Structure 1
Amino acid sequence: MCSPEHFAVEYAINPWMDLTTPVDRELAVKQWDRLRETLVGLGHEVHLLAPEPGLPDMVYAANGAFVVDGTVYGARFKHEQRAAEAAAHRAFYEAQGWRFIAPNETNEGEGDFAYVPEAHGGLILAGHGFRTELPAHAEAQEALGRPVVSLRLVDPRFYHLDVALAAVDDANIVYFPGAFSTASQRVLAQLFPDAVVADDADAIAFGLNLVSDGRNVVLNSEAVGLAEKLEAAGYHPVPVELTELKKGGGSVKCCIAELRH
């Protein structure tokens, strides 16, 4: 995770960013602190990446890389405003001794990659259409040695996979069908017949931008309907408020890069 002490909406690179809407940075830091404390309280270890001035979106730490089996496939951002973040993430992983593979293709880390380790022997679900380029899916497969399923995003509101889909345990997902092309919807329905299916209201509330340890599902407190669906499916929803960070087009998952040994 990376503190939002430099967070601001200084440019608009997704439909949620509004330059006329002020950001309360102090509140953003408080809400982020509460998210971090929630994860620690659930028994998880949180590593911190130092924020850098001039990079207001560094708080969205999930976009900096994608980690599977101790191997890190680095990010290469689409927009120049975020490009310098990639080096900060690489330095973090290399300092930790992780095996780092530098990308040649445009991709935004866990923003567009999700890992479901026990689904069909272990699958990487990969989004494209707005940020990550399709050739990055093949590059990720070669880097990580796991089969990649390409999914086309078609609604600009859901510009990253992680605002439209999430793994809720090692074998299952939750997703919003309307974010995907018709063919990608068919692929998801075939691969995950028991998935938790979200609706438009869940997605607009950034409910799908969540993290789960297989039991506890930490999600945006505005996604009340999705929390009820997850509870009915046997999970334990843990709501957190992230109103300020939502102004940049992100929520819980965007703030968290998962380190998979």
Structure 2
Amino acid sequence: MPPGPRLLMCPPTHFGVEYVINPWMEGNLASTDAATAATQWNALHAGLARLAGIELIQPGDGLPDMPFTANAGLVIGDVFVPSCFRHAQRRGEEPLFTEWATHYGFTVRKLPDGMHFEGAGDALLDRGSPRLWLGHGPRSDPGVEAGLAALFDIETVALRLVDPRFYHLDTCFCPLAGGWLLYYPPAFDTDGIGAITARVPESRRIALSEQDALAFACNAVNVGRSLVVNQASASLQATLRAAGFEVIETPLGEFLKAGGSAKCLTLRLDES
């Protein structure tokens, strides 16, 4: 693949809420509109294409959550660590993403059998230090930290998620360029907050309100100093601008019904 920022996306051909595996899906069964979802996804794709190269994977029939490519696995360098989904409804995605990664020249390194891991939904690289933040609890297992530490020469920091609405780390935690951090503190236990505050200076931490957290403002795609997000309040946008970031809003309400937004719909392929 060519150098520079690269993202993997999957068209929402089969997207919909067809089961309930997170609180956002409750009450939203069969409620999505395919045309609106396609329009929103296309707008996100077009906006991101101005910031990064976009690779596509073909959607799998009967896999309505496959557009959430952040959960495909974790990419660092030329290594792809595939996910092992907790819920059976998503396990059909695993071989398709692994085949894609193999085809494009990534070395596939699996975690031990039986260990649940949901990829870059729960594994986020810090943008200011060689550090890998790992969420666990609702989806990924605590043992993922030791497994990934054995694969990569990098500090790993485990954070336990305690609010079921924020079931993946990338729904409540967003490392930004320059070592900044966008996060929603109530999503973490006391130990997790301690781990965050010990590593990220207060001057670089931006804590979200519940309003912004529920709009999935943390589920943003950061490329350089641009931040692509479903929605952010005026006060949050002002804070981000003061920190040197450009905020680009692109509505993704259909995907929120399934518990995902901009970051969930992308997988970063150029992590080093």
TM-score, scaled relative to structure 2? 0.91
- Work out whether 1:200 is the aligned partner of 2:225: no
Which digits, 9 at most, give the CA deviation of each residue in 1:33-52, with x for residues without a partner? Answer: 1101001122x100001001
* Structure 1: distance between partners of 2:219 and 2:233: 10
Task: Look up the match of 2:101.
Answer: 93
- Work out whether 1:253 is the aligned partner of 2:263: yes
How far the C-alpha of 1:168 sits from its partner, in A, is 1.2
- Structure 1 range deviating more: 85-94 or 217-226: 217-226
Task: Look up the match of 1:180.
Answer: 188
- Aligned pair in 2 of structure 1 residues 52, 236: CA closer, same or farther (>3 Å)? same
Matches within 5 A, 1:73-152: 73-104=81-112, 105-119=115-129, 122-152=130-160
How far the C-alpha of 1:227 sits from its partner, in A, is 2.5
Among residues 22, 33, 40, which one is paired with 2:31 in the alignment?
22
Partner of 2:249, secondary structure, is strand
Task: Look up the match of 2:11.
Answer: 3
Q: Are the aligned partners of 2:79 and 2:107 in contact in 1 as well (CA < 8 Å)?
A: yes
Which digits, 9 at most, give the CA deviation of each residue in 1:38-94, with x for residues without a partner? Answer: 01122x100001001100000100001111122111100000000111111111110
Which digits, 9 at most, give the CA deviation of each residue in 1:131-173, with x for residues without a partner? Answer: 0001112111112222210001100010100000011115222
How far the C-alpha of 1:118 sits from its partner, in A, is 3.3
* Structure 1: distance between partners of 2:184 and 2:257: 21
Task: Look up the match of 1:34.
Answer: 43
* Structure 1: distance between partners of 2:193 and 2:116: 24
Amino acid corresponding to residue 41 of structure 1 in structure 2: R
- Aligned pair in 2 of structure 1 residues 225, 107: CA closer, same or farther (>3 Å)? farther
Partner of 1:11, secondary structure, is coil
TM-score, scaled relative to structure 1? 0.95
* Structure 2: distance between partners of 1:27 and 1:92: 27
Matches within 5 A, 1:57-68: 57-68=65-76
How far the C-alpha of 1:117 sits from its partner, in A, is 4.8
How far the C-alpha of 1:214 sits from its partner, in A, is 2.7
- Structure 1 range deviating more: 92-101 or 138-147: 138-147
Task: Look up the match of 2:173.
Answer: 165
Structure 2 residue ranges without an equivalent (≥5): 1-8
How far the C-alpha of 1:129 sits from its partner, in A, is 1.1
Partner of 1:46, secondary structure, is strand
Amino acid corresponding to residue 141 of structure 1 in structure 2: A
- Aligned pair in 2 of structure 1 residues 89, 224: CA closer, same or farther (>3 Å)? farther
